[in-house]
Chains A and B, each alone.
Chain A
Amino acid sequence: DTAVSQTPKYLVTQMGNDKSIKCEQNLGHDTMYWYKQDSKKFLKIMFSYNNKELIINETVPNRFSPKSPDKAHLNLHINSLELGDSAVYFCASSQEYGRVAVETQYFGPGTRLLVL
């Protein structure tokens, strides 16, 4: 039974299109994240939500908009896709305890986005 799932696994699209990636976790965690891993394999935080509330919003273009309908889901919508958006996008979740020293993160399998 998958703990953190993402759809789609692969996404190939043209520049200028709008696309969404969905993420769901069944671990009962309060916090969910989106990361981008570029071609150099560097994993960088994009957004973090705690109980549907945005708590981290790193410097990403405002073409990227996260949405959390409930604490088990965190979706990522990308407008006007650009070549530089090509990367692997990972969703993750973790449990916080009193906002101190969160426990480990569990990652989804990733969505490989290729913008042509």
Chain B
Amino acid sequence: RKEVEQDPGPFNVPEGATVAFNCTYSNSASQSFFWYRQDCRKEPKLLMSVYSSGNEDGRFTAQLNRASQYISLLIRDSKLSDSATYLCVVNYRNQFYFGTGTSLTVIP
């Protein structure tokens, strides 16, 4: 079983739409959680950390549910520039585990 699982998509949404991604992790003792963004042929870059209380950064909202071991990312008012692959990342015992990523394409 993979440590981190994500729906690979692809998600194709119109501009202005709201889209949500979920991710589950297998180890209940995981310590920290992140969403990364990876553009085509580029390196992954941190989008946001995910805190237990949930956190928001502009149009992006991240939630963590430790009881169910899942993490979510909500993107409101999608922009064309949001098109990318979104990677769910979990840290357990100082090792980062990456999901396979969810592909998002925002269509004009």
Contacts and interface: CB of A to CB of B under 8 A. Distances in A.
Interface residues of B, number: 20
A60 interface: no
Given A40-B100, A41-B100, A102 B85 contact: no
Contact residues of B: prevailing secondary structure: strand
A86 B49 CA distance: 31
Contacts of B94: 31, 55, 96, 99-102
A55 to B, nearest CB: 8
A107 interface: yes
A27 B97 CA distance: 22
B42 interface: yes
Identify the 7 closest CB pairs spanning chains A and B, nearest first. Answer: A107-B43, A43-B98, A101-B31, A104-B46, A101-B32, A42-B100, A107-B44
29 contacts: A33-B96, A35-B98, A40-B100, A41-B38, A41-B85, A42-B98, A42-B100, A43-B87, A43-B98, A43-B101, A45-B96, A48-B95, A55-B94, A56-B95, A96-B94, A99-B94, A102-B91, A102-B94, A102-B96, A104-B34, A104-B46, A104-B49, A105-B46, A105-B96, A107-B43, A108-B43, A109-B42, A110-B42, A110-B43
